[in-house]
Structure 1
Amino acid sequence: MSAAVARLAQLRPGVRGYTAADLHTLPEVGPRYELIDGSIVMSPSATSAHNMIARWIAQLIENANPGGDHVVGTDQSVTIDDHNEPRPDIVVLPAAYIDDSPFPVDGVQLVVEVVLPTSALRDTEIKRVLYARAGVPYYWVVVPDPDADTIALAELVLEDGAYRYATHYTTEVFRTAQPWPVEVDLTALAARTARARRPSAAS
């Protein structure tokens, strides 16, 4: 039995489930943990392809950063309330929280989730409601398809407490002005991923 499983067995969730305090007692090494509506979600390690795509997109957002009050973080826990602490792949957060982990959702401008096969429902539906409820103004969902060698991106914008699609799963060049002007060439990123996946075919 792993240390995390042993610790989870010792915890006694309340009426609304586990709390952020419960989450913070789990070992920091091992699987990735998130707290979603009182449930502790344990995700397997992401693939290198997933991490590369997240890193490349984070770098594009960072390179476009005009500076000032916000910075770009990756794979960091965000405290929404006592029963919700997700861990988005990319987040644009206030610079005031640069040394904090986890940090509060207040002032977060953008979250980006790169979808894994095991996280599709959570990223496209559950977290969509969660981030909207928390008041995060912009949410990107990135969906790699290794079979088709494509990367799709949906941009959602918060309006009246719910997200609407500003961009609906494009696989071409994505441009936006929020949280600042940035361009993501999804076709180029997909080709780059395909070359990394099949280097012999590219030579």
Structure 2
Amino acid sequence: MSAAVAKLAQLRPGARGYTVADLHTLPEDGPRYELIDGSIIVSPSATGSHNMFARWIAQLLEEANPDTAYVVGTDQSVTIDEHNEPRPDVVVYPSAHLDDSPFPVDGVQLVVEVVSPTSALRDTEVKRVLYARAGVPFYWVVVPDSDADTIALAELVLEEGKYRYATHYTSGVFRTQQPWPVEIDLPALAARTARYRRPS
């Protein structure tokens, strides 16, 4: 039994589930953990393609970043409240928290989740409600399709406490002004991925 599994077995959730304090007692060298509505989510190690998509999007956001007020991070824990600490694939947050881990959700401008087979419902539904409740103004959901060699992106914007689609799952060139002007050539990224999968 691993140290992480043994520690999880020792934890006793309260009436509302586990807390951030419980989460922080788990070994840092174990699996990827998130705390969602009092439940500790143990995610399998991400695939190389999943990490590539997150890294490429983070890099494009960083290259378009107009100043130093915000930074772009990947796979970092964000504390929302006592029972919620997700770990988004990409996050744009205040540079004042550059050296903090985890950091508070206050001031987070954008969260990006790359959907994998084990996270589809969590990324498209559960986290959508969670990030809206936390007041994150912009939320992108990225859906790769390895069979069709496409990458689709949905841009959601917070209005009156709920997200609405500003862009509904485009697989073309995505352009937005939020959190700053950026262009993401999804067909080019999909083609690059296909070349890795089927090298000549």
- Same fold? TM cut 0.5: yes
Alpha-carbon distance in structure 2 between the residues aligned to 1:68 and 1:77: 21
Alpha-carbon distance in structure 2 between the residues aligned to 1:138 and 1:73: 15
Quote the offset at 1:57 in angstroms: 0.6
Alpha-carbon distance in structure 2 between the residues aligned to 1:41 and 1:64: 33
* Deviations, residues 133-177 of structure 1 (Å, cap 9, x unaligned): 000000000000000000000000000000000000000000000
Q: What number of residue pairs does the alignment pair up?
A: 200
Q: Which residue of 2 aligns with 1:64?
A: 64
The aligned amino acid for 1:59 is Q
Q: Which residue of 1 aligns with 2:179?
A: 179
* Partner SS state of residue 157, structure 1: strand
Structure 1: gaps of 5 or more residues: none
Runs ≥4 in structure 1, deviation > 4 angstroms?
Answer: none
Q: Which residue of 1 aligns with 2:97?
A: 97
Q: What is the Cα-based RMSD across aligned positions, in Å?
A: 0.5
Quote the offset at 1:68 in angstroms: 2.9
The aligned amino acid for 1:193 is T
Alpha-carbon distance in structure 1 between the residues aligned to 2:197 and 2:59: 20
Alpha-carbon distance in structure 1 between the residues aligned to 2:85 and 2:188: 33
Alpha-carbon distance in structure 2 between the residues aligned to 1:2 and 1:193: 34
The aligned amino acid for 1:186 is L
* Partner SS state of residue 195, structure 1: helix
Alpha-carbon distance in structure 2 between the residues aligned to 1:43 and 1:91: 18
Alpha-carbon distance in structure 2 between the residues aligned to 1:143 and 1:38: 26
The aligned amino acid for 2:12 is R
Alpha-carbon distance in structure 2 between the residues aligned to 1:36 and 1:175: 31
Q: Calculate percent identity across the aligned residue pairs.
A: 83
Alpha-carbon distance in structure 2 between the residues aligned to 1:117 and 1:70: 31
Alpha-carbon distance in structure 2 between the residues aligned to 1:68 and 1:32: 29
Structure 2: gaps of 5 or more residues: none
Alpha-carbon distance in structure 2 between the residues aligned to 1:72 and 1:138: 14
Q: Which residue of 2 aligns with 1:45?
A: 45
Q: Which residue of 2 aligns with 1:147?
A: 147
Q: TM-score, normalised by structure 1?
A: 0.98
* Deviations, residues 58-108 of structure 1 (Å, cap 9, x unaligned): 000000000131110000000000000000000000000000000000000
The aligned amino acid for 2:89 is D
The aligned amino acid for 2:186 is L
Q: Which residue of 1 aligns with 2:20?
A: 20
